[in-house]
Amino acid sequence: MIILAIETSCDDTGIAIIKVNEKKLSKIKVLSNLISSQVKIHQKYGGVYPSLAKREHQKNLPILFEKSKKEAKDPKIDLIAVTVGPGLDPCLWVGVNFAKDLAKNLGLPLLSINHIKAHIYANFLDFKSEKQLKDIFPAIYLIVSGGHTQLIFVKDFGHYKFLGETRDDAAGECFDKIGRMLGLGYPGGPPIEREAAKFKAKDSKFKVNLPRPMMHQKNYDFSFSGLKTAALYDYKERKPEIRKSKEYIRAISAETQQAIIDVLVKKTIKAAKEYKAKTVILGGGVIANRELRKQLKAKIKKDLPNTEYLSPDIKLSTDNALMIAITAYYQWLTEGSALSDDWKKVSVNANLRIEK
């Protein structure tokens, strides 16, 4: 079976084509996985500009589609999958309308895919058997991206319980806003990680202290806007020449990154303990942060030696269509042909949640 998947929820246009065994879970063969990032276009706004993103998706999607078919050697497609939410409404519609046209013209079933779920499924790319899949549950899933920071309990395959989420900014958004303030460009996560890596506490003239919002609260919610404000105050209190200095930028980058890591690690470990998780699964663009992965992995090893840690390949942690294709495959395997999603009924839900 050949699955074609489309992703346009935010500022990355993605198309993927995979070949799978439609009867039982077996190794997925990736025939094409293309992504066109709009980072450069949105850089000057310091964030994603929805109407511009929509226009770029409209321009790029047909080009990527032709390219991916060529790369996959023009296979006969059996199933189409598209992200229907959560995301930016105008952007989601570009992908959904494109997918509906294709489904209608080719007479194919169309599957609606939840983007947050897909970030989990990105971890399953190399799974080869049902057993391998069953062995990872119950699991705690942490999604940290530019738009989301959520903790979800996955009791069993396909059974979710929502535990908590950010009450204001997402962790990635916090990286982006602080990065912008420091003049590090957009997105802020990667340069903050780079600057933080150069910071040496014992040699530094600067001590930056930022809060760890909600870290000790009993719930599984997060809040990052106070952290951003605290960073802004620290920055404003410094003399202009200090603000631009390499040393200060390194010190505040390291503290920002550590504050975010501390909160994420603390709440994830707490959830994994409470729900006796066999696995902690990660997803979302912020997962690309090496320090976060390193510290979370070390803490799991120390506090929960029987818990495994599963994080996707870095390339699959940010938005992509391959994870949409993988999710479609799993949905197909579990719900099968009952899933004859009528293209006419497929619609966008910008605030789609992961609850079952």
Residue 147 to residue 175: CA distance in whole angstroms: 11
Binding part of the chain for Mg ion, among 101-109, 126-134, 314-322, 333-341 by CB under 5 A, reads 314-322
Nearest approach in angstroms of CB 344 to ligand AMP is 30
**What pairs with residue 5 in β-bridges?**
16, 81
Does position 56 bind Mg ion by CB under 5 A? no
**What does 68 bind: Mg ion, ligand AMP, none (CB cut-off 5 to 8 Å by kind)?**
none
Q: Which residue ranges make up the site for ligand AMP (CB under 6 A)?
A: 10, 145-147, 172, 175-176, 187-190, 193, 284-286, 288-289, 318-319
**What does 146 bind: Mg ion, ligand AMP, none (CB cut-off 5 to 8 Å by kind)?**
ligand AMP
**What does 175 bind: Mg ion, ligand AMP, none (CB cut-off 5 to 8 Å by kind)?**
ligand AMP
Residues 87, 91, 93, 98, CA torsion sign: negative
List phi, psi (to 5°) of 149: -145, 105
List phi, psi (to 5°) of 13: -95, 125
Contact between 273 and 85 under an 8 Å Cβ cutoff? The reply is no
Does position 7 bind Mg ion by CB under 5 A? no
The nearer residue to ligand AMP, 194 or 344, going by C-beta atoms, is 194
The nearer residue to ligand AMP, 56 or 319, going by C-beta atoms, is 319
Nearest approach in angstroms of CB 200 to Mg ion is 33
Using DSSP's 3-state secondary structure scheme, residue 48 falls into: coil
Count the site residues for Mg ion by CB under 5 A.
Answer: 2
**What pairs with residue 164 in β-bridges?**
151
**What does 286 bind: ligand AMP, Mg ion, none (CB cut-off 5 to 8 Å by kind)?**
ligand AMP
For every residue of 308-350, DSSP letters joined together read EEE---GGGTSS-SHHHHHHHHHHHHHHGGGG---GGG----T
Structure tokens at 252: 């505040």
The nearer residue to ligand AMP, 86 or 213, going by C-beta atoms, is 86
Q: How many residues would you count in the chain?
A: 356
**What does 190 bind: Mg ion, ligand AMP, none (CB cut-off 5 to 8 Å by kind)?**
ligand AMP
The nearer residue to Mg ion, 255 or 319, going by C-beta atoms, is 319
Nearest approach in angstroms of CB 230 to ligand AMP is 18
Within positions 139 to 168, which residues make up the interface with Mg ion, using CB under 5 A?
A: 145
Q: Which of 11, 50, 85 is nearest to 350 (CA)?
A: 85
The nearer residue to ligand AMP, 25 or 181, going by C-beta atoms, is 181
**What does 193 bind: ligand AMP, Mg ion, none (CB cut-off 5 to 8 Å by kind)?**
ligand AMP
Report the alpha-carbon angle 30-121-43, nearest 5: 85
- Could you tell me the CA-to-CA distances from 128 to 24, 131, 157, 284, 301 in Å, in that order? 9, 9, 15, 23, 25
Specify the residue for token string 């320090």: 291
Nearest approach in angstroms of CB 66 to ligand AMP is 24
Contact between 143 and 155 under an 8 Å Cβ cutoff? The reply is no
Q: Which residue is nearest to ligand AMP (CB)?
A: 285
Cis peptide before 240 (omega within 30 of 0): no
The nearer residue to ligand AMP, 41 or 242, going by C-beta atoms, is 41
Single out the residue of 272, 319, 327, 343 in contact with Mg ion (rule: CB under 5 A): 319
The nearer residue to ligand AMP, 221 or 319, going by C-beta atoms, is 319
The nearer residue to ligand AMP, 177 or 299, going by C-beta atoms, is 177
Contact between 214 and 221 under an 8 Å Cβ cutoff? The reply is yes
Residue 351 to residue 258: CA distance in whole angstroms: 30
Residue ranges binding Mg ion (CB under 5 A) = 145, 319
